[in-house]
Amino acid sequence: MKLLVTIGLWLATAFSYAQEKAVNFQNNLTWAQVKEKAKKENKYIFVDCYTTWCVPCKVMAKEVLPQPEIASFLNDKFISVALQFDQTKQDDSTTKRWYKDVKQIGEDAKVAAYPTYLIYSPDGQLIHSMVGGSPDAKSFLTKLQNGLDPKNQLVNLRKRYAEGNRNPDFLHTFGLALLQSWDGQAPEVLNQYLSTQKDLLTKENAEFIMFATKASADPGFKILVDNGEAFDQLVNNPGLSRMMFGRIVFDEIVLPMERINGKKVERGGMITYTGEVNKSIDWNDVYTKLKNAYPSSADELLLKAKIQYYRDLSDWTNYTAQAATYNKQYANNHYQIMTYANDVMLFANDKACYSEAIQWAKPFATGNDASNNWYIDVYARLLYKLGEKEQALAVVNDGVTRLGDKAYGLKETQEKMQKGEL
């Protein structure tokens, strides 16, 4: 009996310890109650904005947020809630009860990507936001601490910027904060900072160029054109300079010809274009303008323009043909290639297109070095759509086995393939 009591006490203590180490998310409260509790206890509010389909959200929830230093810091300084921003048939009553408030929070805080982490003051005012996961607890803790430091909070940085502060050190701090929140003002501020720098080919400045360069007038554009290889090495992303260069040229030269009253819309890292597609586009005219502006790159730029054009028309046969030509002649950026393969997987309805896209995806999705869940998933789904279901499942099974707990997204695909639900 004494042994049973001892074991019982040990289990109770262990359970209590585990509870103390977990983040105390208080979703049982309403949003009004959360704000009331924060004000009464003089604590900040931490909001974890996630979706059920977001892989980085799952990584953060499983590997970073439960770490003792994170849980301890959040429980000490914050009233915390974890809010689901999509809606599914499996949602429980607590999740459904938050639907209305989640919608309002998302609109007020302009939540456009996941995960997003919001910090509110004890009186309920949004003072800081951060978008995206962190590689470890230490880096996320630093972000949280910065969010509580008045000199690093977005709300205060915006005020100082509006008052005219253009000191390079301030622009650097403000730009970093904007980047962390995926704020649309980040390019404006970072480009002002870059214009003060004598050497743009440093690792940090190259990373700023990667996020801030949206137009040919931006400071980083000349780096993309004249020092592309050096830039790619600094950001460890072969071919990125050409991909960015091509996107800017499309926006400035091709878009006005490809769409009627066309405009570019960028939200949450996603780019879309508005305006009616010009079905009588004059490709000779497009080529002439590209040749005049960028003579050595005109052929490549024309091919990329045609890929975008056929995508906009949902002409997946011609899209695949143009992408195949581009991949053979120019492509050296794995993300760009896999984006083409993903488009075919999602939207095409032709086995010939699937067969072609499989060849693009295979080198990046197979072998012991293949560690990108998305690449593996796209490749496997292409095989599945082609009718090679056993091979598709084998690819997914191999990925799940090799990646283990990090096989986010692949496990869901595995279950669907096993059930024949894809």
pLDDT tens-digit map of 136-195: 999 999 999 999 999 999 999 999 999 999 999 999 999 999 999 989 899 999 999 999
Q: What is the DSSP letter of 327?
A: H
pLDDT tens-digit map of 335-348: 999 999 999 999 99
| Residue 416 backbone phi and psi in degrees, to 5 | -65, -40
SS3 annotation, 140-196: HHHHHHHHHCCCCCHHHHHHHHHCCCCCHHHHHHHHHHHHHCCCCCHHHHHHHHHCC
Alpha-carbon Rg for the chain in angstroms:
25
C-alpha 356: how far from its chain's center? 27
Cα torsion through 357, 359, 365, 367, rounded to 10: 170
Q: Residue 399: which residues within 8 A CB-CB, separation 6 or more?
A: 370, 373, 376, 377, 380, 407, 410
Which is higher by pLDDT, 265 or 386?
Answer: 386
pLDDT tens-digit map of 103-152: 999 999 999 899 999 999 999 999 999 999 999 999 999 999 999 999 99
Model confidence, pTM:
0.83
Q: What is the mean predicted confidence (pLDDT) over 300-309?
A: 96
CB half-sphere exposure, 400, CA atoms < 13 A? 14
Peptide bond into 115 cis (omega under 30): yes
CB atoms within 10 A of CB 13: 10
CB atoms within 10 A of CB 347: 12
Q: Which residues of 364-391 are buried (b: 16+ CB within 10 A; e: fewer)?
A: bbeeeebebbbbbbbbbbbbbbbebeee
| Residue 408 backbone phi and psi in degrees, to 5 | -65, 135
d(CA 150, CA 332): 43
Cβ-contact 333, 360 below 8 angstroms: no
